[in-house]
A and B are shown apart, each in its own frame.
Chain A
């Protein structure tokens, strides 16, 4: 099904919002004002967007430490995300979670995750709930090439298959787990090869190509909604920044990122494709660029001005006997 004009505009806005959010965080992190670990998703936008464009309120996603893109894709409020990353009291998690733990259960965003491989079992659970409750919902677990080697990932593939769950496993293979290459750490050629061992379709897509991701995601979501079970999809893509902010990335090739940015930027590709096919005009895209820039500017400004959590919050949201 070809995308409508509105859908194309929505997809571009989603990708651009993620990109701007991350580019801005990169700059703001360098000032020292943002605490903790920040893992940026820049370069990988087409993956979150290609999947989340198919989702609605019934659906859930489980994310990982590189979770800003998934969160934006699933509709988390950008201002509240930014405030969370700054550790402010009005953040999405009241400032208690930070970048690595952004969550909005009301939006079906089950949480970024500090534990590599922590998300897939949770996605199985969400898919089980959707199935039992008959909501028609699906669950997606987004995780990395590194996480794909984790026992919980393999166990979840098996469980989802055994229980025939409406669950989709998305390996975002950006070539590295921290400094370690996926060529070293993943024993098969493609992480998606593992699907056959768990009796589900395994698909490899170019994760820089929104349209390719969108199509593969659509099939998997349809299959899940029709009760036909799980799918494993591997998006081959790249991250534009270090593993976390502050990573000198000396394990990467010389000019690696520069070349990637110049040749396979998912936003550039999207723009080229939709304008050359006369689906959208440069001007329409530029308008979105401007609106997104203003949105992110505003979110940073508001986050910086927001108060810290009240000290009493230290002892709330948990049972304490002494």
Chain B
């Protein structure tokens, strides 16, 4: 039975159901058990995101507050994953990967291959990304392209409550390290989510809107911007197909290519910086695999190659918006 719940609740529910199902699933992170050792209410915070609220009460010491020591606790989650647990660690903001990157990309990412297939590292690192909260340069980045670059990591960017639950359950059941990227602007987004547990397989993009003229490939929060643009463009008699990648690694190139072969035009919409990004990656794959189908050069709509500014007007300019997407679509349609 589906109910209308938020992205935040969907993530919390996935965690609770998987912890119920499998007692090797544990959670760790800063304040995820609500603030250990503090004199006030128990479980006062469910992490800063509120996602884990209530889980400490249900699962006790399987939900652990950590000191601020990302290198050690992310690494401990990785080590525990090679030793019989299935940890889900919360790295509060994706920006903080700077503190613990070694454990993610030199350790977790490498074991299975480097040890000749003899290791499994079923760890999930949940982390919050994205601009729009006036949180400035060190709390607003979209760093999933960096993880996507690294073989051995799986990278997930859910755009809806339904996907958040299904993809998180898949992440927990998966035997590889997964970086699960939650956009901070989506936590309050509501949508239909089945009560029962379900897993959405990795590497299956979602065609969220069908159309004939232009393919818009996007992910995460930008899916909603793509839909806004597609709605507006429909009034101009331009029909957009929207493809939500869901996971950037593995990436569903078949669905992208199939769509571009039908429409003949591609706009890639990504909130991260333009260089070495999901936008360049998708563009390169289409240029290589479906060049013959293209009726116009590919357009990328991304944030500019600058850190995220604090001032409200600058941050609003920074984030790609529907107007820019519409402009890019008109350009590939030869209508600008």
Contacts and interface: CB of A to CB of B under 8 A. Distances in A.
Interface string B93-116: 001101100000000000000000
Interface in A253-279: 253-254, 256
Nearest to B69: A149
A251 interface: yes
Interface stretch (B8-16, B218-226, B301-309, B328-336): B301-309
Given A88-B311, A250-B41, A251-B41, A37 B139 contact: yes
B40 A251 contact: yes
B4 to A, nearest CB: 26
Contacts of B138: 100-101, 113-115
Nearest to A176: B38
Given A181-B37, A311-B313, A36 B68 contact: no
B38 A179 contact: yes
Q: Give the size range of B's interface with the partner.
A: 35 or more
B90 interface: no
A134 to B, nearest CB: 33
A253 B40 contact: yes
Contacts of A305: none
A114 B139 contact: yes
Contacts of A28: none
B160 to A, nearest CB: 27
Interface in A113-157: 113-117, 146-147, 149-152
A35 B310 CA distance: 8
A116 B70 CA distance: 10
Contacts of B41: 250-251
Interface string A275-312: 00000000000000000000000000000000011010
A117 to B, nearest CB: 7
Nearest to A247: B45
A87 B312 CA distance: 7
A99 B251 CA distance: 38
A309 B314 contact: yes
B37 A183 contact: yes
B60 to A, nearest CB: 16
A95 B37 contact: no
Interface in A237-260: 248-254, 256
A178 interface: yes
A97 B310 contact: yes
A181 B36 contact: yes
A315 interface: yes
A114 B137 contact: yes
A320 B313 contact: no
B65 A95 contact: no
A97 B137 contact: yes
Secondary structure at the B interface, as helix, strand, loop or mixed, is loop
Interface string B44-79: 110010000000000000000101111110000000
Contacts of B34: 179, 251
Given A96-B310, A311-B317, A180 B99 contact: no
B209 interface: no
Contacts of B48: 178
Contacts of A249: 40, 44
Interface in B275-333: 275, 304-307, 309-314, 317-318
Nearest to A313: B314
Given A36-B135, A97-B136, A250-B40, A115 B311 contact: no
B68 A177 contact: yes
A318 B305 contact: yes
A179 B307 contact: no
A100 B68 contact: no
A251 B35 contact: yes
A115 B91 CA distance: 12
B136 A308 contact: no
Given A35-B310, A114-B138, A115-B99, A178 B31 contact: yes
A95 B311 contact: yes
B270 interface: no
Contact of A252 (B31, B38, B135): B38
Given A98-B310, A179-B38, 13 more contacts: A36-B134, A36-B135, A37-B134, A100-B138, A101-B310, A114-B135, A115-B96, A151-B99, A178-B31, A184-B65, A251-B38, A254-B40, A256-B40
27 contacts: A35-B312, A36-B134, A37-B134, A37-B139, A87-B134, A96-B307, A96-B309, A98-B310, A98-B311, A114-B137, A147-B68, A150-B68, A151-B72, A152-B99, A178-B30, A181-B38, A184-B38, A185-B37, A249-B40, A250-B40, A251-B39, A252-B40, A253-B39, A256-B39, A309-B314, A311-B313, A321-B305
Interface of B: 30-31, 34-41, 44-45, 48, 65, 67-72, 95-96, 98-99, 133-139, 274-275, 304-307, 309-314, 317-318
Chain A to chain B: the 6 pairs with minimum beta-carbon distance, closest first: A179-B35, A184-B37, A181-B37, A114-B138, A98-B310, A35-B134
